[in-house]
């Protein structure tokens, strides 16, 4: 266990796919400046399943958004999959989302007008991958997720668990370097939550997929190799899971 400073990786010899130095992020809300991140340092090696936990307002979502290129940092250095997020503009962050990171959200965020297949095809199209057919790798992911038979259904015709599996399939369909999961079990019942978490761990183990998951749920966090605890915009504790 370590506290604050650079949260150490359990496998320091592996390539660091995320490297964060003194990351700060301030928002202006009305006339008040809110410091969401106050100097975060973090390294994540390739292939790690990292859980980030913390109460509301701890800064974990802001960290998630910066790593995912959804918002720029105020200061500090953020290297994600070889890209210096702090040095690129809007186009650079768009490129990061297109090529290197994928999201799985609490509310699934599937395009409601499209079938599961077309949701996946859209993500592949945007990433510049062939969208007309699915390759064997993607087919095996769909089998693993158990949604191969549900691809022609629209989100409104699927259960929450199925929608989240489609969201995971869509995220993996672009072969991202990092899968960012934001409370992926937040809208699911216990059974589906366990299934989704098992799938994430399975994907990590079988495919070596780097996963960064933020969650309120401490049981869900246990699925990660490492748990980073955040509070008041800082990493306050890091727990290495010894059973991995």
Which residues of the shown chain bind other proteins in the complex (CB under 8 A)?
65, 68, 70-71, 90-91, 94-99, 102-103, 105, 109-114, 118, 121-123, 125-127, 131, 170, 174
Q: How far apart are CA 220 and CA 142, in angstroms?
A: 23
Quick one: 122 or 239, whose CB is closer to other proteins?
122
User: Which CB, 174 or 204, lies closer to other proteins?
Assistant: 174
**In the complex, least distance from residue 213 CB atom to other proteins, rounded to whole angstroms:** 16
What CA–CA distance (Å, rounded) separates 71 from 154? 30
Structure tokens at 78: 């953020």
Least Cβ distance, residue 190 to other proteins (angstroms): 25
Which residues 6+ apart lie within 8 Å of 196 measured at CB? 161, 164, 165, 168, 184, 185, 188
Instruction: Give the gyration radius of the chain's Cα atoms.
Output: 17
In the complex, least distance from residue 80 CB atom to other proteins, rounded to whole angstroms: 13
What minimum distance in Å lies between the beta carbon of 110 and other proteins?
Answer: 8
Q: Calculate the alpha carbon distances from 242 to 10, 141, 227 in Å.
A: 9, 28, 11
Among the listed residues 177, 171, 193, the one whose alpha carbon sits nearest the alpha carbon of residue 48 = 177
**What are the backbone angles phi and psi of residue 175, rounded to the nearest 5°?**
50, 60
100, 83 Cβ separation under 8 angstroms: yes
- Choose among 55, 47, 58: nearest CA to 18: 47
Structure tokens at 161: 């668990």
Q: Which CB atom, from 46 or from 94, has the smaller least distance to other proteins?
A: 94
| C-beta of 7 vs 171, nearer to other proteins | 171
Shortest distance, position 223 Cβ to other proteins, whole Å: 23
Q: How many residues does the structure list for the chain?
A: 244
**Which CB, 70 or 207, lies closer to other proteins?**
70
- Our CB check for other proteins shows the closer of 95 and 222 to be 95
Q: How far is the CB of 93 from other proteins (least distance, A)?
A: 9
């Amino acid at each position: 266990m370590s506290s604050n400073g650079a949260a150490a990786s359990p496998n320091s010899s592996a390539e660091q796919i995320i490297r964060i130095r003194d990351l700060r992020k301030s928002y202006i809300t009305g006339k008040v400046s809110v410091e969401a991140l106050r100097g975060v340092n973090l390294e994540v090696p390739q292939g790690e399943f990292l859980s980030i936990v913390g109460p509301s307002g701890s800064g974990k979502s802001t960290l998630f958004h910066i790593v995912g290129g959804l918002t720029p940092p105020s200061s500090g250095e953020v290297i994600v999959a070889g890209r210096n997020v702090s040095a690129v503009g809007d186009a650079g962050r768009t490129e990061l989302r297109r090529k290197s990171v994928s999201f799985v959200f609490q509310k699934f965020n599937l395009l409601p007008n499209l079938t599961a297949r077309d949701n996946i095809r859209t993500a592949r199209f945007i990433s510049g991958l062939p969208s007309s057919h699915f390759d064997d790798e993607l087919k095996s992911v769909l089998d693993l997720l158990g949604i191969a038979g549900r691809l022609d259904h629209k989100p409104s015709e699927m259960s929450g668990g199925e929608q989240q599996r489609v969201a995971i399939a869509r995220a993996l369909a672009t072969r991202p370097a990092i899968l960012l999961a934001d409370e992926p079990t937040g809208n699911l019942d216990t059974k589906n939550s366990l299934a989704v978490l098992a799938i994430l761990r399975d994907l990590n183990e079988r495919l070596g997929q780097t996963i960064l998951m933020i969650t309120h749920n401490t049981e869900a966090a246990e699925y990660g190799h490492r748990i980073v605890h955040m509070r008041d915009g800082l990493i306050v504790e890091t727990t290495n899971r010894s059973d991995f």
